[in-house]
Chain A
């Protein structure tokens, strides 16, 4: 069944792992995953999810609904699994930090809040 060259990972290896971009920036952690059942009954992992709603869901599903009501999916983002080049406690991503919606709040805060504070840049 399994090709011996394949590495086997459990969900635990992926959930809560650090997302690290190829330009060496830490953009966030995996809060949730999205998978799909294919016609041949295989379960395929498609996306890594990061954001407040997904995190709230980790605590309680009702809490996730509450967060969704207020945030309306605005801050949750998905990264296709194919973007991951190396697995482990740290997931290495193919692109640079600016290529991903995850972690854009870092840039937003720098551009809109910290620029008004002396010595911020």
Chain B
């Protein structure tokens, strides 16, 4: 029993670290800087969605012993499987470039060296970790560092809490600093950044790596609810902080570095370093998760040997895919586009494809062949349909907006 609570604590910490990444930092920061608290609602909606999805994918894998990617290929066939696969590879390669860039910018805030120079070394560092480290190291290492995210909350307190004049922007966003198109674009990007399918592929593969069974369902539920809620708190805190500090200064937060100003205002140089630490930890955790999620997805979909606890030669194709995927992200990153812009672009592409990546849930989660008596309750199904409709509507508006706004 004691062991189970240790792993619950660990799972929660992991979820906090895994929630925030370049995508959520970019969308929260820009949302706050441009629209005050006007986008808080979509962060809350997305949080409820990701809690439901993480709980479902964990329950599915624990009971059926099948990962999400395996089930899609087996249940929907190869042709359908290609759709979520293609959307994953396209969106996540851009996102991975953003995460690598986020780590580089964090290190450049510490060292003063240009992030463009640090970028290839960061990629090499990530590759060495995924090449040799075990699953536990990858899951828990960056997560503990991610707790520094709580310093965002401390910053809000130090600045005297949320000022009264901001509260009406909760339901009446101000459009002084951005247009309606910008606003809707950020709604889509926030949804894509928060409900990242890579987290679902990673989480379900992790459940197999750690040999979850039907007895792990409590651990699964607590991780999903507590972990994701805490993670979302970090995201909301950054949004509020950007609204308090950046909006009056007319800073639109178009680079990750600019967001650091939000922490520098209350805490000075220490604040900048705290922001750099958060950026480093969250992007590091996310970069590892993204590389693995895509490699897991491909290896499981094609039925190859996979696993982070195996030596590379024992799962050769899996490890080769991992290496190639990192190289693609490096090529994207070397274009020199600011990671924040890459993160926003990736998040919008993800939101565009969300209906494809999420629709299998509705069928798989109601199949007693996989889940026995643990199939979805009616409430979860209704919530799931709402999420899909929302994802579809957002996808419908996000493409034209992407073109109108030129990507944020």
Contact = CB atoms under 8 A, between A and B. Distances in A.
A89 B320 contact: no
Given A18-B70, A109-B317, A114 B312 contact: yes
A55 B305 contact: no
A67 to B, nearest CB: 14
A110 B316 contact: yes
Interface string B48-79: 00000000000000000010001001100111
Contacts of A96: none
B41 interface: no
Nearest to A24: B305
A26 B70 CA distance: 12
A18 B75 CA distance: 12
Contact of A121 (B73, B77, B306, B311): B311
Interface stretch (A2-10, A27-35, A36-44, A71-79): A27-35
A106 interface: yes
B78 A55 contact: yes
Given A28-B302, A28-B304, A16 B317 contact: no
A31 B78 contact: yes
Contact of B132 (A31, A58, A106, A119): A119
A13 to B, nearest CB: 9
B295 to A, nearest CB: 14
Interface string A81-121: 00000000100000000000001011101100111010111
Contact of B78 (A16, A25, A105): A16
A117 B74 contact: no
Contact of A113 (B66, B302, B320): B320
Is chain B's binding surface mostly helix, strand, loop or mixed? helix
A26 B313 contact: no
Interface string B299-330: 00011111000011111110110000000000
A84 B73 CA distance: 20
Nearest to B71: A89
B37 to A, nearest CB: 47
B392 interface: no
A106 B316 contact: yes
B82 interface: yes
B305 A25 contact: yes
Interface string B159-173: 000000000000000
B135 interface: no
B312 to A, nearest CB: 5
A120 B312 CA distance: 5
Given A58-B78, A59-B82, A121-B311, A114 B303 contact: no
Nearest to A12: B77
B74 A26 contact: no
Interface in B182-241: none
A112 to B, nearest CB: 10
A89 B74 CA distance: 7
Given A16-B78, A58-B78, A110 B313 contact: yes
A111 B306 CA distance: 17
Contact of A114 (B73, B79, B305, B316): B316
Q: Which of A16, A25, A55, A59 has the most CB of B within 10 A?
A: A16
Contacts of A28: 302-304
B131 interface: yes
A115 B313 CA distance: 8
A68 B132 CA distance: 37
Contact of A120 (B82, B305, B313): B313
Contact of A109 (B70, B74, B316): B316
11 contacts: A16-B74, A16-B77, A26-B304, A58-B77, A59-B79, A103-B304, A105-B316, A105-B317, A106-B316, A117-B131, A117-B312
Given A18-B70, A26-B305, A121-B312, 4 more contacts: A26-B306, A28-B303, A29-B73, A121-B313
Interface of A: 15-19, 25-29, 31, 55, 58-59, 89, 103, 105-107, 109-110, 113-115, 117, 119-121
